[in-house]
Structure 1
């Protein structure tokens, strides 16, 4: 019964978050191309980062990207590597940058065959575990499936501001899930959607999910 109420509350939070998302000014992708030179060193000229610790920005979704840029500039989402980089960027600059990266196709990272040790030292197929959590969640602890926000193929939900996940570097996904679980990343809104999702994920769950998502398309 507890899990039923928890899942119902989570569903309501997702609906509320999507319904109350503020409308954002549209960006100009062409104008953004001339404003992202500083981003290329870490994220690639077209948003396809070659470094696994830096996220791919290509195709993540304009609304999501703009929110992250605004949060990083405001300090709501601290990112050490980006300290001061956006200080002189206007709201329109950020919108244009978001539009530029959102317009680019993401290159898939790809998943790997991995074995993971879970509770009681049992070794399992990591890809199968990642698929199970992504598509069905974990009803035992009330963790919802990722498909509800990020779609069955991991392509996200642009109108709601939920980012594309498929093809992202697994190292980066793992880092963000750990940050949400630890409460180190808190810019997922008042509903704490991602913090609640990650709350009961084990280290093995997170690694399995990150690896599986990297190969979605």
Structure 2
């Protein structure tokens, strides 16, 4: 773990989170840790079925004091909001001020996928990006974690021993690694510390 991976003194401009199997509970736990002082935009990809509307945004909205909504193409990137990828679209950071949706090819059989969000956010925010990779049953997110770390950003990975589906966090740890490996409770506490 890097010395400042959890430091409340380290400043970020955005938070990106990726999850798959078991991810709804994990996301609810993390978002419930945020309070009204949280100012960063939060962008989320959860692998969801592409052939029906997603209930993810309203589910997360019940647990979060920040407004939660599903992404729309070319929407502004706003502080103190949570934006989730819609079914059948990759969510990407276009600029520091806007988001984009893409129908590019599936990544590891998923659209939305985690890697496009993490990679595009790393290209825009560089060392000012915090990425979190949670439970999941594929290796999606591993390349995105590598991109964040290569750009100087910080990555927290859920402890595979706690994850409902450990493959996703374990894949990242076996490859590019992480700045911190944390339980959901420890991640929530660390997020609270960032706004102290």
TM score, norm. by length of structure 2: 0.28
Q: Of Structure 1 and Structure 2, which has the larger fraction of its residues in helix?
A: 1
Q: Of Structure 1 and Structure 2, which has the larger fraction of its residues in strand?
A: 2
TM score, norm. by length of structure 1: 0.26
Higher Cα radius of gyration: 1
